[in-house]
Amino acid sequence: MWIFIAFLILLPIAFAGLSLAPYVPTFPSDKKRLLDILPNEEKKFLEVGCGLGDVSLWVAKNYPEYQVTALEIAFPLYVVAKLRAIVSGQKNLTILYKNALKYDFSPYDIIYIYGLPENMDKKILPKYEQEMQTGSLLISYVFTL
């Protein structure tokens, strides 16, 4: 029974790893480095693959003028992120259970993503070039495009 439940939880997380990257969180102290990058004015911020929601929660709290949207494809991670967003009471944060590769990037000023290099080049770069507006910002954690 427990093995079955563990399987149900781990399988979607493993499959998500094939799409952009397996779940590995941004290092906590690196979230603070965003203070040097993010502008202090109204922005639409998107996190592609939010995992348990740490980065989006942090951005929503520290930038109340932002509208923060976070996408997650692995259902168990999405549920935890969604619950954390509800408990936090952050009104400027929306967590969505969505495949980022089928999601329109064009309304967003800033996109944050932590994906594997090959997937970034093949799957994210074309969306960046086709959908993101001039002057918008793509922040790729760890890997360069």
Is residue 105 within 8 Å of residue 111, measured between CB atoms? yes
- Token pair, residue 115, equals 């994906």
For ligand SAM, give the closer residue by CB, 16 or 85.
16
Residue with tokens 């202090």: 40
**Taken in order 105, 110, 114, 117, is the CA torsion positive or negative?**
positive
Q: Does 57 bind ligand SAM (CB under 6 A)?
A: no
What is the smallest separation between the CB atom of 1 and ligand SAM, expressed in angstroms? 25
Q: Which amino acid type is present at position 15?
A: F
For ligand SAM, give the closer residue by CB, 27 or 91.
27
Q: Does 51 bind ligand SAM (CB under 6 A)?
A: yes
Q: Which of 35, 41, 55, 45 is nearest to 110 (CA)?
A: 45
CA atoms within 13 A on the CB side of 7: 4
Q: Does 72 bind ligand SAM (CB under 6 A)?
A: yes
Residue 54 CB neighbours (<10 A): 17
Among 9, 101, 125, 139, binds ligand SAM (CB under 6 A): 101
Q: Which stretch binds ligand SAM (CB under 6 A): 35-43, 49-57, 84-92, 124-132?
A: 49-57
What is the smallest separation between the CB atom of 137 and ligand SAM, expressed in angstroms? 16
Q: Tell me, by CB under 6 A, how many residues bind ligand SAM.
A: 24
The residues that touch ligand SAM, with contacts defined as CB under 6 A, are 16, 19-21, 23-26, 47, 49-51, 54-55, 71-74, 77, 99-101, 114, 141
